[in-house]
Chains A and B, each alone.
Chain A
Amino acid sequence: KAGVTQTPRYLIKTRGQQVTLSCSPISGHRSVSWYQQTPGQGLQFLFEYFSETQRNKGNFPGRFSGRQFSNSRSEMNVSTLELGDSALYLCASSTGLEKYNEQFFGPGTRLTVL
């Protein structure tokens, strides 16, 4: 079974631009969660989508948004990029049906904002 895939793996953008990251979950998984990982803040939860609906949201500004498609693939968008948005963005998938199910993580997208 293929794992969680994220594209692109690396991105370099400049301040003010916008960016879209993509995540393909494990086949059959309906939940996709997004996290931001930085050395200073650790792993910060962005949001979770289940069956095309946002089910949970973290404490990030409205510049961060996401969506999920009918095939469970998810995209995350960041508008008006700031230097502080430089981070590793991780996507994780799970069945989303039981709270005791573990999440499976992708390799991440490394975003650098110049």
Chain B
Amino acid sequence: AQSVAQPEDQVNVAEGNPLTVKCTYSVSGNPYLFWYVQYPNRGLQFLLKYITGDNLVKGSYGFEAEFNKSQTSFHLKKPSALVSDSALYFCAVRSPNDYKLSFGAGTTVTVRA
């Protein structure tokens, strides 16, 4: 069985400060990892994904994520947060053996001006 854990329900940062949203996963085989963002009353928007290769993945809106196989983590980062980054962030994993995508519980990010 595959699963995703997002240990923080909420992350609060000041605008201009670095933002990190944590994600750990459990899956058989080499994982495919994804980050999505959801703004109020909207569907999820794809940010970035890890397939293979370079552990640092760059995505939309200045976000990046670092894959760490030994720690089974895929943390989302942004060097300088904006107020407009305030949203709900989801990490997701898919095993190489299944098309099912499993999501974490989500982390609410609040960036204060």
Interface size class of B (residues with CB under 8 A): 20 to 34
Known contacts A99-B94, A99-B96, A100-B51: A45-B45 contact under CB 8 Å = no
Are the CB atoms of B43 and A90 closer together than 8 Å? yes
Q: Taking chain B's interface residues, is the majority helix, strand, or loop, or is none over half, making it mixed?
A: loop
Are the CB atoms of B49 and A100 closer together than 8 Å? yes
Q: Does A31 contact B (CB under 8 A)?
A: yes
Are the CB atoms of A42 and B105 closer together than 8 Å? yes
Contacts of A107 on B, CB cut-off 8 Å? 41-43
Q: Interface residues, chain A, CB within 8 Å of chain B?
A: 4, 31, 33, 35, 42-43, 45, 48, 50, 55-56, 58, 90, 92, 96, 99-100, 102-108
Q: Interface residues, chain B, CB within 8 Å of chain A?
A: 32, 34, 36, 41-46, 49, 51, 90, 94-96, 98-106
